[in-house]
Amino acid sequence: MLSYSKGPDLPLLDSTIGEQLAETARRWPDQDAVVAPHQQQRLTWSQLLRAADSVGRGLRDIGLRENDRVGLWAANCVEWVIVHFACARAGLVLVNVNTSSRTHELEFILHKSGLKALFLNERDNRANYLEILDEARKGTALEHAICFGSLEWRRLRQAPACVSTAIAQNDVCNIQYTSGTTGSPKGVLLTHRNLLNNGLLIARALRYTERDRICVPVPMAHCFGCVIGTMAALASGAALILPSAFFDAGATLASIDEECATAIYGVPTMFIAELQHPDFARFSLQTLRTGMMAGAPCPVEVMKRVIGDMHCGQMSIGYGLTETSPVVTMSEIDDDLERRVHTVGKAMPCTELKIVSMATGEVVEAGMQGEICARGYMLMKGYDADPEATARVVDRDGWFRTGDLGVMREDGYFKVTGRAKDMIIRGGENIYPREVEEFLYTNPKVAEVHITGLPDERLGEAVLAWIKLKAGETATAEEIKAFCRGRIAHFKIPEHIRFVEAFPTTLSGKIQKYRIRENEIQARGLERAASVETA
């Protein structure tokens, strides 16, 4: 049996995002569409449609035309959702800008994407965004910088609610920059068809209806928020709950309690923070039934606690990439625990997957490790103004090389075993960080752990562990090594261990292992070993 799988062929939507918004507002005009407790704001679907059409019309009135690019540089808020749909209704291309972007990154995006307008908050307790913009915008095409709460924003909100333009389903409607776990970010071109149908299939898999209420603490600037969140809500009529501007475990738990959320999203680090919140037991989470955990490998013990302690008996694991809009595999909500904690599910409907040999590109037998490749409706149009980069990852037959290592089991379920570039080669032995991480999670003192390789002049690479201990626990490096001895192969035992309180992450919560590596190289004086060239 070869490692190839295709999800069932189900009917997809032929509409655009803007057309679907009008349809959802027609069917459930008075149902909550978006709720932001931290802003004390809520909009029904009919109110959201009117707001989006006003802002869309206002953008056309100030000179923007079809396919012009509009940036959105803000944390989670009602305004984010309004602008998202305004661009879709007006035929404009929304460009998601990471709230962590500073002068260098923002200047890169402004030049690369050719933004005509940018929405932003003037400042918050993290940064003065207007000052950063003033420094970064020189020599760019940017014509309008619109701060939420400003007079210009209020004028847009009050424009006549009328947007009419010819928009096709395969038009690019969104550019999301790759999250920067490695290398320079690239603009991923995504269409109405990509995003709307990925949201539809997620909503079907999680069995959403208009009675569901989805708590979304993940950033809207990332595809987890603005596709798995917004598009799934749009396709089903469910409400979107934004508990805080930036992730806050306490605010998330409070919003689930107060807004009677039925679904909760997050990357594993978010669920870990929620489960370890000192007031966790005070919140009522009984309304939860389902949700999505994605963005990073899920520790088995964490998943068990989410299902048990957070009452998410139908929690699903998902896997995907920005380039695939994003989700390509999901577990079924009624799958047994083994499938939900040991796999990332099976191929989504209308999606093809295969595992190929890194050496030959040929499809490998089931159970063998190789690179995960995907094909289908969800594949990006390409990287913005970078056909060479697109050609490196998408072949002539439309297969996208994910760069992720994985295994397809004989039951059609997939396991992600790591990034091809993350593999540690120590003295000729291949070590996959995920395997060592899963083992260390069985240590009762360990709250979170991430493994990467460090340069070693003798062995080529050595194993490094960054470990966050549970509250009130203490441990030594030697204690951790003793825990490993006799239980995992000697070459997998971390030579270097550092206890930390936090990990470097992208906006979406993905751990940036390259930054862990860089920090350790500098701290340990390993620049010479790092400079050694290898084949």
Where is mean pLDDT largest: 229-233, 271-275, 333-337, 439-443? Answer: 229-233
**Beta carbons of 171 and 15 less than 8 angstroms apart:** no
> What mean pLDDT comes out for the span 315-319?
94
Q: Kindly tell me if the per-residue pLDDT of 417 is higher than 60.
A: yes
Give 422's pLDDT tier (boundaries 50, 70, 90): confident
Residue 534: per-residue pLDDT: 38
Q: Kindly tell me if the per-residue pLDDT of 532 is higher than 70.
A: no
Q: Which architecture does CATH list for 17-29+42-167?
A: 3-Layer(aba) Sandwich (3.40)
Which superfamily does 424-530 belong to?
ANL, C-terminal domain (3.30.300.30)
> What mean pLDDT comes out for the span 207-230?
96
Give 535's pLDDT tier (boundaries 50, 70, 90): very low
Cis peptide before 326 (omega within 30 of 0): yes
Q: Kindly tell me if the per-residue pLDDT of 493 is higher than 50.
A: yes
Give 181's pLDDT tier (boundaries 50, 70, 90): very low
**Beta carbons of 363 and 381 less than 8 angstroms apart:** no
Give 26's pLDDT tier (boundaries 50, 70, 90): very high
Q: Kindly tell me if the per-residue pLDDT of 301 is higher than 90.
A: no
User: Among all chains, which residue has been given the structure tokens 């870990």?
Assistant: 272
CA atoms of 221 and 438, how far apart (whole Å): 30
Q: What percent of the chain has pLDDT over 70?
A: 97
Question: Strand order of the sheet with strand 93-96?
Answer: 144-147, 117-120, 69-73, 93-96, 172-177, 187-191, 382-383
Residue 533: per-residue pLDDT: 45
Helices 78-90 & 45-61 angle (0-180, nearest 10) = 60
Task: Please list the alpha-helical segments (H only) found in 35-102.
Answer: 45-61, 78-90
**pLDDT tens readout for residues 448-466:** 999 999 988 778 889 999 9
Q: Kindly tell me if the per-residue pLDDT of 184 is higher than 90.
A: no
CA atoms of 422 and 181, how far apart (whole Å): 11
Residue 180: per-residue pLDDT: 45
Q: What percent of the chain has pLDDT over 90?
A: 79
> What mean pLDDT comes out for the span 295-310?
84
For residue 431, give the DSSP letter: E
Distances (CA, A) of 333 to 207, 232, 234, 293, 411: 9, 16, 20, 12, 17
> What mean pLDDT comes out for the span 419-440?
80
Q: Which of 175-184, 422-431, 448-457 has the lowest mean pLDDT?
A: 175-184
Model's pTM, two decimal places?
A: 0.84
CA atoms of 237 and 176, how far apart (whole Å): 25
CA atoms of 364 and 355, how far apart (whole Å): 6
Residue 257: per-residue pLDDT: 98
Q: Kindly tell me if the per-residue pLDDT of 71 is higher than 60.
A: yes
The per-residue DSSP string of 321-351 comes to -GGGSSEEEE--TT--HHHHHH---EEPTTE
Any idea where the domains of the chain sit in the sequence? 17-29+42-167, 424-530
Q: Which residue has the higher pLDDT, 267 or 38?
A: 38
Same fold, 17-29+42-167 and 424-530: no
Mean pLDDT (the chain) is: 93
Q: Kindly tell me if the per-residue pLDDT of 183 is higher than 70.
A: no
